[in-house]
Amino acid sequence: FYLTPPQVNSILKANEYSFKVPEFDGKNVSSVLGFDSNQLPANAPIEDRRSAATCLQTRGMLLGVFDGHAGCACAQAVSERLFYYIAVSLLPHETLLEIENAVESGRALLPILQWHKHPNDYFSKEASKLYFNSLRTYWQELIDLNSGETTDVREALINAFKRLDNDISLEAQVGDPNSFLNYLVLRVAFSGATACVAHVDGVDLHIANTGDSRAMLGVQEEDGSWSALNLSYDHNAQNEHEVERVKMEHPKSEEKSLVKQDRLLGLLMPFRAFGDVKFKWSIELQKRVIESGPDQLNDNEYTKFIPPNYHTPPYLTAEPEVIHHKLRPQDKFLVLATDGLWETMHRQDVARIVGEYLTGVHHQQPIAVGGYKVTLGQMHGLLTERRARISSVFEDQNAATHLIRHAVGNNEFGTVDHERLSKMLSLPEELARMYRDDITIIVVQFNSHVIGAY
Amino acid sequence: AAGMFLRLLSDIQWRAAHPKWRRMTSSQRSTSTTAEPHPVSLPAQAQVVICGGGIMGTSVAYHLSKMGWKDIVLLEQGRLAAGTTRFCAGIVSTARPVSLDLKMAHYSNKLYQQLEQETGVQTGYVKTGSISLAQTQDRLISLKRIASSLNVMGIPCEIISPKKVVQLHPLINIHDLVGAMYVPEDALVSSANVSLALATAASRNGVQIHERTSVSHVTVQKGRVTGVETDRGRIQCEYFVNCAGQWAYELGHSGEEPVHIPLHACEHFYLLTHPLEKPLSSGLPTVFDPDGRIYIRNWQGGILSGGFEKNPKPLFTEGRNQLEIQNLQEDWDHFGPLLSALLRRMPGLETLQIMQLVNCPESFTPDMRCIMGESPTARGYFVLAGMNSAGISYGGGAGKYLAEWMVNGYPSENVWPLDLKRFGTLQSSRTFLRHRVMEVMPLMCDLKVPRWDFQTGRQLRTSPLYDRLDAQGARWMEKHGFERVKYFVPPGKDLLDLDHSKTFYKPDWFDIVGSEVKCCKEAVCVIDMSSFTKFEISSTGDQALESLQYLFSNDLDVPVGHVVHTGMLNEKGGYENDCSIARLSKRSFFMISPTDQQVHCWAWLKKRLPDDSNLIMEDVTWKYTALNLIGPRAVDVLSELSYAPMTAEHFPSLFCKEMSVGYANGIRVMSITHTGEPGFVLYIPIEYALHVYNEVMNMGQKYGIRNAGYYALRSLRIEKFFAFWGQDLDAFTTPMECGREFQVKLEKGMQFLGQEALLEQKQNGVYKRFTMFILEDHDTDMDLWPWWGEPIFRNGRYVGKTTSSAYSYTLERHVCLGFVHHFDEKTGEELVVTPDFINQGEYEIDIAGQRFQAKAKLYPFSSLFTQRRRKDEVELSGYQRE
């Protein structure tokens, strides 16, 4: 059976979200015009998460995609918490003091982030108190540590990532008297998530990446064509430096067992991740936590299973690799996406498809016959092709949706094939995961005029 | 590219930018000048100045000079025939659904055919014929209706099978066709050369032609044209003719006193190709494929094909931009769907090589009809423009009508549907025009079914009750910008959406209107008739009565409080307007006319009323909301609301009285309903409208009151043989021809306009007679419905056409109204039509080629009138048109 085009569209558009930055927010002109995001599940429920927020106490905007594994708990927690950790890391000492004093005296807190969320992107209400307390502990430590130096974005990002992962680990070890929360923190710690986060402030773009999601810049060349610039490195077996790093951190005796079948300890695809305490804790700690944990945890074969050749933990870290890029006028957009996209599409095609979508049909050159010899049939064919291209662009009001349509529906000729699209989207839940992964995409569009003026 | 194209289209090299034009004689083709001499100066004065050297301007000049007017100057801002005329496709086609348009095209065709012989200018005239294709049965029905029209006019035409189509045009793919119409005498011309030929003939007749002269504005004093200002000086003139095509709107607005000419330009694309390997014959018929939205003609061995897309591109909304017109871009992506349609129709053309895609702006009007006539505000200011892409087809005929209008005071045909005065100032907003033409242009190819309404430019003028009625299920139509109710959809019922409701058969509202009619007959209905034009005419002394007695044909010297039905006739006794006039006091009158009379009637009276400051005419249309209470219980509702006796003894038919209704005072109540049913019309000052409506509805509840719309009204009036102005009556119809001698004061020895003509008719008899036809063997459910314009046959011979029709729910038959002529069997000469002639015939009505037997009647069924109140006068009038 086939899905009709409207049915296909309703599936593709179910999770799409767009945000346009107000042209002038009263403080400064933003280098970001806005962003489009979307996700298409393959797992049920989807294990990918996404976040976007504007920092209110410092300048800049945060955007991130999170790819969960072994459940969605860790990705969910990271998507809720990471930006707070980053924002706090970026705050100057006075602001931290101000916030702490406000909490202390029960006054209203300065808002730290303005979230840009799709209605389906939820925050866990039950854990908010717990999360807040951990965050507060973090900023109290920052206040105590007061280095007096201005905060470096790179450092802030690294600290925030590491701190959050640490807190996740700690919360699971300590547990919680509330049984629901207790189970939650354990699920978060025993599942894992990669993160790819962008911080944009004026022309300064920082990408902090942990795992195998990817950030890519769309660059328009002088001749109008599109090229891709990688702003992250995948942390997996294909990355020689990563393999090297892991090997360096463990005794030579483990060299052969460290990476097997392109996986960490023969099990895990990403070489860096949040959570995944099975790859971080000692065997004793794991056993103790599981035994004292709730029954559900004990019944779970996966959590009880200790990775083979597990000798010198930790094998895994959440520390991100940070890349700084000064935006140029030719840098038109940034794509953040989980590996579900990159498995199916080459980054060069992503750059072209998004570039053509964003610059729009109006840039399609008008046809002029001029002195050429053109027959009616040739012209008809040409127009039909142009129309098909236009209509596929017009169907989507969201660059991320447009990209997903191509990722899922592209045939061997690189054009969207409705039949294929329909097949891929109507796969039963249990089969979907075999043909495709969850896909989450954020496309950030830059304001070249603002960037050029810097 | 445009320049190159000009040379391609025109077969001759025209050298006539020649200042010595007037002195050129018959051999002007050999008179070629090498260098362009200095232009001669403009004359200081002329009788007529025509602005625009396209097909319209040259045609008007040609016809005016033929009719003996010589003192004419034609001004063209660029070169002759260089605008839309130059670029248009040059198709002369008589396949038009409306008979007036058809007549203009037919005349044009005959004119162009002999033009080359007359002028020596090659016009490229080739009689190729045309084939109109039908992809659907509905389309075939519409073609059959046109074919019926053409046949009775003696224009050869036949409905042919797809097989026959291939014989006529081998390239056509016929697999999706259900039939076609072939008009063998349709022709192709080089439009620019036709225009130049007309200019040549006109200049030989004395018309001065000046190119490269633009008119900046027209000067008007005391409501009369006095001259034109140009970039080369001023010309004094009596008459100005605006033939500026797509610039006509702007030119109209350039003067101090604006003349509103509602038209707007849209881009129009057509394709030119190189010749086929075996070049196409120049005699190959032109193809219209309206379902594919395209036309295709042969052109220099290749083809020329354009069309009317669904998403037109209006342009020049913000005004004139002279640079743009020559440099309009080709837009292939826009043309794509039309190209697909072309290749679907003629797949063999795939390998044909493209020469050019031409972008030729055309001007369109709010109702798809062209605009001609005199400005209602500036006398002597004439207009001919807005051809809706049929300028070449209409050019000859339209130019002739306008010339007749100027010379004789009125054309030889009823051109009211084209009259500039059918529009008010309200239809000339730029936004309105832009939106409306985007709807009109695609309509060129859409199926034209009875009773469709424009969707754009709506809710402009509304009654204060609009929202109340809308909430009760009202469905609306528009007349002269005013929203009027068609019918009320009962709660829980739903009608088809617009596209699906298009039909030539029984419409989906049939039962809804039936129940409204029933309620009018048995209880009481309310119809909001606020759109009617209302004037008040009063004076300090007897001036009002005296003037009106001359301008109206019925006796208005009636007791105060009486209502008189009367025609407003022209010199020939024809109806310029048909109205009801109430005598409010000795010296003031209240006049009700059809909605679209607002501009025309005002201009007509203004022109003829004495210039006397003690005589005042005021347009009070906007001041009153009119509620029509129709039905036997109307009298009960009203008497309960006013505590006044409303029975026939106290309030006879055709009376008018101011009274209170509910809390509201000063409601003008008239005992007329425009339907022949008993009842009243309430003229309510607008601030009381909602109050009175609510009171009427509340009180009416116990009498079974309900809302009704114009469709019910129409059915009621037609079954009672009421003629309506604009539909049945026009400037060429006299009271004697439609059985209304009793509304004329011939016996009273008073002078009035049109009197002589009527006396002569009384003496010699009439040449056409308004007749009612009851369809006999017509199945309402299964057969095509009559509309108007259907040919009437008497004893198998054509005698005239219907003017309106409706289903009578009382008679349970279709009723058609129309005029019967008597054409001499041998000579075709028109003979007197006597009542015996009418009564002694066997009649048939032709609906899309199928003939239905009809019974003819000269008088209405008396059984349909429930009561007669005043012996001497039966209410036999009504006004609104559908």
Between chains, do A366 and B331 touch, taking CB under 8 Å as contact? yes
pLDDT tens column, B159-187: 999 999 999 999 999 999 999 999 999 99
Residue B495, Cα to own-chain centre: how many angstroms? 29
Contacts of B833 (CB under 8 A, 6+ apart): B765, B766, B767, B768, B769, B820, B821, B822
Encoded tokens for B571: 């010199």
**What's the pLDDT at B4?**
35
The residue of A369, A372, A386, A387 whose CB has the most chain B CBs within 10 angstroms, and thus the best one to mutate to test that interface, is A369
| CB-closest option in B329, B331, B354 to A379 | B354
Quick one: average pLDDT of B475-480? 93
Question: Rounded CA gap, A359 and A349, in Å?
Answer: 15
B341 close contact with A: CB closer than 8 A:
no
**What's the pLDDT at B320?**
66
B251 close contact with A: CB closer than 8 A:
no
To the nearest whole number, what is the mean pLDDT of chain B? 90
Q: Which amino acid is at A130?
A: L
Residue with more model confidence, B6 or A243: A243
pLDDT above 50 for B231: yes
Quick one: average pLDDT of B78-103? 89
For residue A374, which residues of chain B lie inside 8 Å, CB to CB?
353-354
Between chains, do A375 and B329 touch, taking CB under 8 Å as contact? no
Q: Is residue A389 part of a domain?
A: no
**What's the pLDDT at B22?**
37
**What's the pLDDT at A28?**
57
Q: Is residue A2 part of a domain?
A: no
Phi-psi region of B358 (alpha: psi -120 to 50; beta: other; left: phi over 0): beta
- The DSSP letter of residue A318 is -
Between chains, do B350 and A369 touch, taking CB under 8 Å as contact? no
Residue with more model confidence, B578 or A59: B578
**What's the pLDDT at B24?**
37
pLDDT above 90 for B113: yes
Helix boundaries (H) for B246-310: 248-254
Q: What's the CATH architecture for B45-364?
A: 3-Layer(bba) Sandwich (3.50)
Quick one: average pLDDT of B810-817? 96
Q: Is residue A371 part of a domain?
A: no
Measured between CA atoms, the residue of chain A closest to residue B348 is A377
Q: Of A411, A419, A447, which Cα lies nearest the Cα of A333?
A: A447
Give the number of C-alpha atoms closer than 13 A to the C-alpha of residue B45, restricted to the C-beta side: 6
Domains in chain A: how many in total? 1
- Scan for tokens 């003017």, then name that residue: B803
> For residues B390 and B109, is the Cβ–Cβ distance under 8 A?
no
pLDDT tens column, A356-376: 888 764 445 667 776 678 899
Quick one: average pLDDT of B65-87? 90
pLDDT tens column, B44-65: 999 999 999 999 999 999 999 9
Give the number of C-alpha atoms closer than 13 A to the C-alpha of residue B689, restricted to the C-beta side: 24
Annotated domain spans of chain B: 45-364
Give the number of C-alpha atoms closer than 13 A to the C-alpha of residue A216, restricted to the C-beta side: 26
pLDDT tens column, A206-261: 999 999 999 999 999 988 889 999 999 999 999 999 999 999 999 999 988 999 99
pLDDT above 50 for B28: no
Question: Rounded CA gap, B160 and B27, in Å?
Answer: 45
> For residues B84 and B265, is the Cβ–Cβ distance under 8 A?
no
Question: Rounded CA gap, A66 and A77, in Å?
Answer: 10
Between chains, do B354 and A367 touch, taking CB under 8 Å as contact? no
- Scan for tokens 């995409």, then name that residue: A441
**In B, residues 318-337, which contact A (CB 8 Å cutoff)?**
329-333, 335-336
Question: Exposed/middle/buried for B452, CB within 10 Å: 0-12, 13-18, 19+?
Answer: middle
| CB-closest option in B329, B343, B356 to A376 | B343
> For residues B172 and B38, is the Cβ–Cβ distance under 8 A?
no
Question: Rounded CA gap, B673 and B693, in Å?
Answer: 17
Q: Is residue A3 part of a domain?
A: no
For residue A368, which residues of chain B lie inside 8 Å, CB to CB?
330
**What's the pLDDT at B17?**
39
**In B, residues 755-774, which contact A (CB 8 Å cutoff)?**
none
**In B, residues 266-285, which contact A (CB 8 Å cutoff)?**
271, 273
What's this model's pTM, rounded to 2 decimal places? 0.73
Q: What is the CA radius of gyration of chain B?
A: 28
| CB-closest option in A366, A368, A379 to B339 | A379
pLDDT tens column, B627-683: 999 999 999 999 999 998 898 888 999 999 999 999 999 999 999 999 989 999 999
To the nearest whole number, what is the mean pLDDT of chain A? 89
Residue B168, Cα to own-chain centre: how many angstroms? 34
- Scan for tokens 């890391």, then name that residue: A89
Measured between CA atoms, the residue of chain A closest to residue B356 is A369
Measured between CA atoms, the residue of chain A closest to residue B274 is A375
Residue with more model confidence, A344 or A453: A344
Q: Of B263, B314, B265, B602, which Cα lies nearest the Cα of B429?
A: B263
**What's the pLDDT at A225?**
87
B540 close contact with A: CB closer than 8 A:
no
Chain pair A-B, CB pairs under 8 angstroms: 60
Indicate the pairing of strand B381-385 with strand B371-374: antiparallel
Contacts of B679 (CB under 8 A, 6+ apart): B524, B628, B629, B630, B631, B634, B635, B671, B673
pLDDT above 50 for B323: no
Question: By three-state DSSP, how is residue A442 classified?
Answer: strand
* Domain extent at residue A347: 15-366+436-452
Q: Calculate the alpha carbon distances from A85 to A108, A136, B255 in Å.
A: 19, 10, 71
End-to-end CA distance of chain A: 55
* ipTM value: 0.81
Lowest-pLDDT range of A47-56, A64-73, B228-237, B423-432: B423-432
For residue B339, which residues of chain A lie inside 8 Å, CB to CB?
376, 379-380, 383
Question: Rounded CA gap, B110 and B536, in Å?
Answer: 47
Interface of A with B (CB under 8 A): 364, 366-369, 373-377, 379-380, 382-384, 386-387, 390
> For residues B655 and B667, is the Cβ–Cβ distance under 8 A?
no
Q: Calculate the alpha carbon distances from B178 to A409, B173, B320, B642 in Å.
A: 40, 12, 44, 62
The residue of B339, B342, B346, B352 whose CB has the most chain A CBs within 10 angstroms, and thus the best one to mutate to test that interface, is B339
- The DSSP letter of residue B509 is T
Q: Of B849, B819, B800, which Cα lies nearest the Cα of B738?
A: B819
Q: Is residue A423 part of a domain?
A: no
CATH at residue A183:
3.60.40.10
The residue of A379, A382, A389 whose CB has the most chain B CBs within 10 angstroms, and thus the best one to mutate to test that interface, is A379
| CB-closest option in A366, A368, A380 to B339 | A380
Q: Is residue A237 part of a domain?
A: yes
**What's the pLDDT at A24?**
53
Lowest-pLDDT range of A347-361, B378-392, B527-541, B578-592: A347-361
- Scan for tokens 């207790």, then name that residue: A182
**What's the pLDDT at B881?**
36
Between chains, do B329 and A366 touch, taking CB under 8 Å as contact? yes
Q: How confident is the model at residue A391 (pLDDT cuts 50, 70, 90)?
A: low
Between chains, do A380 and B356 touch, taking CB under 8 Å as contact? no
pLDDT above 90 for A23: no
Question: Rounded CA gap, B305 and B342, in Å?
Answer: 8
Between chains, do A375 and B354 touch, taking CB under 8 Å as contact? yes
Q: Give me the percent of chain B exceeding a pLDDT of 70.
A: 93
**What's the pLDDT at A359?**
78
B808 strand-pairing partners: B813
| Residue A322 φ then ψ, to 5° | -110, 130
pLDDT tens column, B372-393: 999 999 999 999 999 999 999 9
B339 close contact with A: CB closer than 8 A:
yes
- Please tell me which of A292-301, A406-415, A423-432, B691-700 the model is most confident about, judged by mean pLDDT: B691-700
The distance of B341 to chain A (nearest Cα, Å) reads: 10
For residue B691, how many other CB atoms are within 10 A of its CB?
14
Between chains, do A369 and B356 touch, taking CB under 8 Å as contact? yes
